[in-house]
Amino acid sequence: MNEWNIQSRASACESCTTPFADKQSLHTLLFDEAPELRRMDICDNCWQNQFSQGARDRKGFLSHWQTIYEAPTPQVDAIHKDTAETLLRKLIEQNDPRYAPAGYILAVMLERKRILKVKEQIVRDGKRVFIYEQPKTGDIFTIADPNLRLDQLEQVQRDVAQLLEHGLNPPEQNETPQQISEQPVSPIEQT
Ligand SMILES: [Zn+2]
């Protein structure tokens, strides 16, 4: 699977297509459709009628939670300065695996600030994967744990500080192409 992705909350029930109203309760389900996790948002009625009875594994979903729909507010894009959250969104959009460790650290920062909430922790393809929700927008962030070693952590934290200060794509673009190191990040060494 991808190291990470964002899946936005639907604005209508995926099953009966009724649009969600502001403050309405809805149900978010995650399905394991390898190689991706697929999100489905449905209304209370459809949850009751189609999913609430019977064994979870028979219904085929991996995770479920109930949440409150918040109608989008128009001023969401008004902020230009990169915050930890906008930076994380840009990193995921750019989908450059070199930034996967920085993305992971940003997600941890945002969780500590209670901007993101961990909804689920799963293991896929031998990797720990965190499912975060941004409760205001309802976006789900899927972030794989890059298994940073302690000696890598400091460098990644410096990268994150640098990115937060200068943004993802600083103006000067004429740098000589760097050698991209493709070594896989090994799991934390037990001592
Ligand atoms: Zn419905």
Give per-residue pLDDT as tens, 12-49. Answer: 999 999 999 999 999 999 998 888 889 999 999 999 88
Distance 161 CA to ligand 1 centre (A): 43
Q: Please say whether the beta carbons of 84 and 106 come within 8 A.
A: yes
Q: Please say whether the beta carbons of 41 and 9 come within 8 A.
A: yes
Distance 115 CA to ligand 1 centre (A): 28
Distance 163 CA to ligand 1 centre (A): 41
Distance 65 CA to ligand 1 centre (A): 15
Interval 84-115: pLDDT, tens: 999 999 999 998 889 999 999 999 999 999 99
Distance 17 CA to ligand 1 centre (A): 6
Q: What pTM was computed for the model? A: 0.71
User: 141 or 183: which carries more pLDDT confidence?
Assistant: 141
Asked if the model's pLDDT at residue 2 lies above 70, the reply is no
DSSP string, 106-122: HHHHHHHTTSSEEEEEE
- Which phi and psi (to 5°) does residue 45 adopt? -60, -50
Asked if the model's pLDDT at residue 80 lies above 70, the reply is no
What 8-state DSSP symbol labels residue 12? B
With b for 16 or more beta-carbon neighbours within 10 A and e for fewer, the 63-91 pattern comes to bbeebebeeeeeeeeeeeebebbebbbbb
